[in-house]
Chain A
């Protein structure tokens, strides 16, 4: 795979630039249900430096939208994780949608697999998908930690005697050359039915492999987008495009910010009563 040259990139600039989207979450407090979670999503365009799109949401089991008895223990942990994932993917899709409308970029690179949005925020995601298809905005997900088992499964089918039981990331570690790409045939892609096409790529000198998802209608752009990601990834990095790293860094909600926010906007009594864990008071 070749890197894109600057002329090519200038073309992207002319067509509206590239937007990076990432979300972040942080929580303050102790165990369930005494905590507050803050979600933040950011869409940042390479073109327009001022006024990036931020969105935030807040959640605490104590103040849930759904009326329920918080003392009921059943399946609450599972529920909570789901709520968290839902809120985070919601907010990411929301900023992406806003960015698509506001910036009209050439492409949007999302941090993480697109399948998350399909699972957790189906309605919003479909809206974004339609919007992008209509406007011709390429939608790409970059997965830093691939969790699929596509290759392992196929190997298992072909050589059943080996009883292969491994994740793709384990199998591909150090196998690909710098810049080498595996395109996954749609027939074997488990994400197919959700409407995605995927590739694996070694994008830096580090032996790990990253994954990329694109919506199936835009599959012809997959190679071009892979090259873009490859171009934007520093040779000696972990394999993540620098732009996503920058967005990630800006969207991050630090512990200090969380603490300050709560101390400032919450009544001290409520704050101390509900959200300060014993652990946080430890000084030794």
Chain B
């Protein structure tokens, strides 16, 4: 292996007659005039001068090559391997052509590859094409993980990729990009598993209800690690909600908007009607009374009501309504108030106002991973409220340390979300965007970090993208997203060209703390997502299940005469509490007989269903 061709201080070509080069492989160039130079293969080619690419010219067919092989000549031996190598550090002079090349030993690349030990960092996967160097790897880096390859679960063969957790303080925030099916959600899952192992307080916004860690993946035979005590799934409206008293007018408007889009007039009406420290009841009552007053139609009619009140209580109530009418009717049109009212009711019915976020806070305090689940709209709004709340708690605590005042301890934490472009979209405002932006810009100082995953980095707010210091880039096919990635990361042109062809689970990790891009494979996740069943399998299974159930019901009733169906229906209803109509029962019997589970025969009285012969 030698350096060939024209060289520069940054890039050289290397050639070999025997060894094929691999992309992302490290090699050492022994330049006699400079010290040893380390480089990474960025392009690999092979070439055989006897099998030219000559369109329209002679084309060598296989039979001739076979014949030559029989004569003792193997044309493959003429293949030469060429790699383009980029030096990690610029050399002082262009590399001397003809310099020898060798593969590095593990200790020579250790500092480049491994920035943290298993205890200090997140073991996320392996660095691809490092198996040659991994042979002499220190014990502590061996057998840390499994990867999932085409042939199934594999022992670790390569150098592990360990994300240095502490460097997050200097280089905060992580972005996870990749199209659907690229392994992005898997990558996120592995990341979260690692965070749980380190007991890092984490909030996961999970619009897909997929971040459940209680099931061990099917390919692990024994339960290696149990996460059940380290995470908690909480659903918005069911386990957690908003404390109405803590809401600001803006929060409330966001919430109402999430229930259903609100108009400018309603927006205005909320500003006028909502008082700080309102409880849900007080706000609700105010709205209700205003509506009743407005429904009367005019001040005169309300006055009438006051005069004609049956008792003191009713009179008082109507006086109150008159006050409200006088102060708000001009500014708050009836239709807007009605609109606010039904949205408020809807939120209340979803249970949002009946709960609070105490459970989340407690979870974080004890270093757990809290998964907040809900549909995207609700989650957007709830997260706004939640993150504002938690971020400021943490901030107040940190600030109080400087100011020497006493505030309750609140731990640093990490915020994780999939489909981040929904929470911080580019180009328009979304309720959660401002808080995410704030965290992205100054969260580092308070120990609050973001992990944002999205399949459309182009749609993610640019200020936030710019703050993501570590990026995991999985397979990406859309040209516009590749363009964004090109602009936002230090991926080279060659690497971005490979993006559409990456295998699922292979990822480029561009990290400011590493100083270069690493090509890695995410390790096999220990737990599995609840959504892994193929929907088509599900249909099949469901059908089978139904069939079996039905079979059990009618088994004892066989043989069934066509004329007895009505009676059979009532029997089934009595015994199993399931009601069939005559048509559906007949249909299902027919289907069973078509499938050969029972047989159908003709008698003089009509059809009769009996047990299949072979049973």
- A237 interface contact, C-beta 8 A: yes
Q: Residues of A contacting B50 with CB < 8 Å?
A: 246, 249
Give CA–CA (A17, B23) in the complex, Å.
39
In the assembled complex, the Cα of A18 lies from the Cα of B68 at a distance in Å of 10
Report which of A46, A231, A234 forms a contact with B72, defined as CB distance below 8 A: A46
Pairwise interchain contact A9-B58, C-beta atoms closer than 8 A? no
Which residue of chain B is the closest to A14 with respect to CB atoms? Answer: B72
Among A1-43, those with CB < 8 Å from B are 3-4, 6-7, 9-10, 12-13, 17-18
**Chain A proximity mask over B43-66: 1 for CB below 8 Å, otherwise 0:** 000000110000000111101111
Which residue of chain A lies nearest to B73 when distances are taken between CB atoms in the complex?
Answer: A46
Q: Which of chain A's residues have a CB closer than 8 A to the CB of B73?
A: 17, 46-47, 49, 243
- Chain B residues with Cβ below 8 Å from A242 are 60, 64-65, 68
State the CA gap A231–B64 with chains docked (Å).
7
- Chain A CB count within 10 A is highest, among B63, B70, B71, B72, for B71
A10 to B70, CA, bound (A): 5
| Contact assessment for A9 and B60 in the assembled complex, using a CB-CB cutoff below 8 Å | no
Nearest CB of A to B209, in Å: 60
How many Å lie between the Cα of A14 and that of B60 in the bound state?
A: 25
Q: Quick one: which of A12, A236, A245, A249 contacts B61, CB cutoff 8 A?
A: A236
How many angstroms between the C-alpha atoms of A25 and B67 in the bound complex?
30
> Of all chain B residues, which has the CB nearest A243?
B68
The 5 closest A-B pairs by CB, nearest first: A9-B70, A46-B73, A47-B72, A46-B71, A237-B58
Question: A residues touching B (Cβ–Cβ < 8 Å)?
Answer: 3-4, 6-7, 9-10, 12-13, 17-18, 45-47, 49, 231-238, 242-243, 245-246, 249
Rounded to whole Å, the gap between the CB of A112 and the closest CB of chain B is 19
Inter-chain contacts of B63 with A (CB < 8 A): 3, 231, 235
B59 neighbours in A (Cβ, 8 Å): 234, 236-237
Give complex CA distance A17, B74 in Å: 13
Which chain A residues border B64 with CB–CB below 8 Å? 231-234, 242
A248 to chain B, nearest CB (A): 11
Tell whether, in the assembled complex, residue A238 and residue B58 are in contact, meaning their CB atoms are under 8 Å apart.
Answer: yes
Q: A46-B71, A237-B58 are in contact. List 13 more A-B contacts (CB 8 A).
A: A3-B63, A6-B66, A6-B67, A6-B70, A12-B70, A12-B71, A13-B71, A17-B71, A231-B64, A232-B67, A234-B61, A245-B58, A246-B50
Most chain A CB neighbours (cut-off 10 Å) among B61, B63, B70: B70
User: Measured between alpha carbons, how far is A236 from B72 in the docked complex, in Å?
Assistant: 23
Interface check B300, CB cutoff 8 A: no
Residues of B within 8 A of A233 (CB): 64
Chain B residues touching A, range: 10 to 19
- B67 adjacent to A231 (CB under 8 Å): yes
> Could you count the A-B residue pairs with CB atoms below 8 Å apart for me: how many are there?
62
**Cross-interface CB contact of A49 among B49, B60, B65, B77, cutoff 8 Å:** B77
In residues 34-50 of chain B, which contact A (Cβ within 8 Å)?
49-50
Between A and B, 14 residue pairs with Cβ closer than 8 Å are A6-B70, A7-B70, A9-B70, A9-B71, A10-B70, A13-B71, A46-B72, A46-B73, A47-B72, A234-B61, A237-B58, A242-B68, A243-B71, A243-B73
Contact between chains at A13 and B70 (CB < 8 Å): yes
Smallest CB-CB separation from A242: which chain B residue?
B64
Please give me the residue from chain A that is nearest to B77 by CB atom: A49
Shortest Cβ distance from residue B73 to the other chain A in the assembled complex, whole angstroms: 4
Which residues of B have CB within 8 Å of A10?
A: 70
Task: Please determine whether A13 and B68 come into contact, CB atoms closer than 8 angstroms.
Answer: no
Q: A46-B72, A47-B73, A246-B50 are in contact. Are A4 and B61 (CB under 8 A)?
A: no
Chain B contacts with A in 64-93, Cβ cutoff 8 A: 64-68, 70-73, 77
CA distance A7 to B71 in the complex (A): 10
How far is A17 from B72 in the complex, measured between Cα atoms in Å? 7
Q: Nearest chain-A residue to B60 (Cβ)?
A: A234
Instruction: Return chain B residues, CB-CB under 8 Å to A45.
Output: 72
Q: A49-B77, A235-B61, A236-B61 are in contact. Are A4 and B67 (CB under 8 A)?
A: yes
Min CB gap A211→B, angstroms: 19
CB contacts (< 8 Å) of A17 on chain B: these are 71-73
B51 to chain A, nearest CB (A): 10
Residue of A nearest to B58 (CB): A237
> Please, how many angstroms separate the alpha-carbon atoms of A232 and B70 in the complex?
11
Residues of chain B contacted by A13 (CB below 8 angstroms): 70-72
Instruction: Report Cα–Cα, A9/B73, bound state, in Å.
Output: 11
- Give complex CA distance A233, B61 in Å: 9
Inter-chain contact A46/B66, CB cutoff 8 Å: no
Cβ–Cβ < 8 Å partners of B60 in chain A: 234, 237, 242
Nearest Cβ in chain A — how far from B577, in angstroms?
76
A231 to B69: give the CA distance in the assembly, Å. 12
Assembled-state Cα–Cα distance A10/B71 (Å):
6
Q: Within 8 Å CB of A245, what residues of B? A: 58
- A240 (CB) vs chain B CBs: closest residue: B58
Instruction: Select one of A18, A237, A249 contacting B49, CB under 8 A.
Output: A249
Rounded to whole Å, the gap between the CB of A28 and the closest CB of chain B is: 24
**Measured between alpha carbons, how far is A163 from B67 in the docked complex, in Å?**
44
Chain B residue, CB-CB nearest to A48: B72
B contact residues around A237 at 8 Å (CB): 58-60
Q: Pick the contact of B68 from A232, A238, A249 — CB < 8 Å?
A: A232
A233–B68 Cα gap in the complex (Å)? 10
A90 to chain B, nearest CB (A): 27
Closest chain A residue to B62, Cβ basis: A234
Give, as a whole number of angstroms, the nearest-CB distance from A179 to chain B.
Answer: 13
Q: What is the CB-to-nearest-CB distance from A253 to chain B, in angstroms, rounded to a whole number?
A: 16
Chain B residue nearest to A16 in the complex (CB): B72
Q: Output the least CB separation between B496 and chain A (Å).
A: 36
Chain A proximity of B39: nearest CB distance (Å): 29
A204 to chain B: closest residue by CB: B58
B-chain residues with CB within 8 Å of residue A246 when the two chains form the complex: 50
Q: A232–B60 Cα gap in the complex (Å)?
A: 10
Bound: A168/B74 CA distance, A: 36
The docked-state distance in angstroms from the alpha carbon of A189 to that of B335 is 113
Determine how close the nearest CB of chain B comes to the CB of A15; give it in whole angstroms.
10
Q: Knowing A236-B59, A237-B59, A246-B50 touch, does A9 contact B77 (C-beta < 8 A)?
A: no
The answer to whether A236 touches B58 (Cβ under 8 A) is yes
A19–chain B nearest beta-carbon distance, Å: 10
Choose among B49, B61, B68 the residue that contacts A46 (Cβ–Cβ < 8 A). Answer: B68
